[in-house]
Amino acid sequence: MYFAFQHQMNANLTDLNPILVGESQCEPGRYNLPDAQKGTLIHYVCKGTGTLYSRGGSHRVGPGQAFIILPDEPASYQADEKDPWMYRWVGFTGTLASRFSVLPPVFDAPEDMFRHADDLTDPDENLPYQLASDLFLLYSQLIRPQKQKRDYIRATIDYIQSSYMNKLTLKDIADHVGMNPDYLSRMFRRKTGMTLQAHILDVRINEAKRYLVLGYSIKESAALCGFNDPATFTRLFKKSGNPTPTEWKRTKLMEIAAYQNNSTI
């Protein structure tokens, strides 16, 4: 069952002022463009997965993670075709809103994020103040300076995201994050449930999809994403559960055209 609803508000709070809250169980492949008038937007993924297209390219987002879109930032986001996400979002303004720009596009969300948005079917007049308290908690947990241990898995994922177009070996990645290759490989699989090679392929396939949507040819998209040749790209693209790149591109462009004509947050 797919659904989407949202509520607008404005309590004219000074520091962090919620102006929009909503929740959506997206259709598979649902493509969205944010509204620049909604201030800073933070989406929290409750379940399922999707992709954010924003600063630095594409970013896979799963349960327990959140993604942020800054005002006037060119961005879009899309539900996974097999496991579409359900998320909650809050749009806000205020004197402290700009401080959220220090956050990465995607981040691991604190426990019980936006807990006051659990039931939006019958919100009361206190909701803006409750959401403001959620935003202040998020501010104190993620933006206030604090000493943290190095996250090797996040460092690995970030390195792959920035280097997917190049030849990547386990040794290259391990050297970059400063770990033993075998230990990194085991830890990555234990923490993420997939091998490093599978993750690299997943990133490359998703980046190739982005290039295909932007109008690049199959040959160009393959080369830009680290594939040796178009034939290998096509084989791995289909092995990942997709139709051929040509079929996928044609279908996706038709879907995007339809979504842009009738898009909601």
Residue percentage of the chain with pLDDT more than 90: 49
Task: Give domain 152-260's CATH superfamily.
Answer: Homeodomain-like (1.10.10.60)
pLDDT tens digit sequence for 53-105: 987 688 999 999 999 998 878 889 999 999 999 999 999 999 999 889 888 89
| Token couple for 77 | 């986001």
More confidently predicted of 222 and 144: 222
Whether the pLDDT of residue 36 is over 90: the answer is: no
* Per-residue pLDDT at 200: 95
d(CA 246, CA 7): 40
**What mean pLDDT is predicted for residues 207-221?**
91
Domain ranges (residues) in the chain: 3-142, 152-260
d(CA 234, CA 219): 10
Local confidence band at 121 (pLDDT 50, 70, 90 cut-offs): low
- The beta strands (E) that lie in 48-103 are given as 50-54, 57-61, 65-69, 76-79, 86-93
Mean pLDDT in the chain? Answer: 87
Local confidence band at 238 (pLDDT 50, 70, 90 cut-offs): very high
**Cα→Cα distances 121→21, 95, 254, Å:** 11, 29, 33
d(CA 81, CA 251): 12
Local confidence band at 119 (pLDDT 50, 70, 90 cut-offs): low
Phi, psi for residue 52 in degrees, rounded to 5: -100, 130
* Per-residue pLDDT at 132: 92
Q: What is the pTM of this model?
A: 0.55
Local confidence band at 254 (pLDDT 50, 70, 90 cut-offs): confident
Which of 27-41, 128-142, 247-261 has the largest mean confidence? 128-142
pLDDT tens digit sequence for 140-173: 888 765 555 568 899 999 999 999 999 999 999 9
**Contacts (Cβ under 8 Å, ≥6 apart) of 175:** none
* Per-residue pLDDT at 149: 58
* Per-residue pLDDT at 220: 93
For the domain made up of 3-142, give the CATH fold.
Answer: Jelly Rolls (2.60.120)
* Per-residue pLDDT at 264: 54
12-26, 34-48, 86-100, 184-198: which has the minimum mean pLDDT? 34-48
User: Minimal CA–CA distance to 206: which of 43, 29, 51?
Assistant: 51
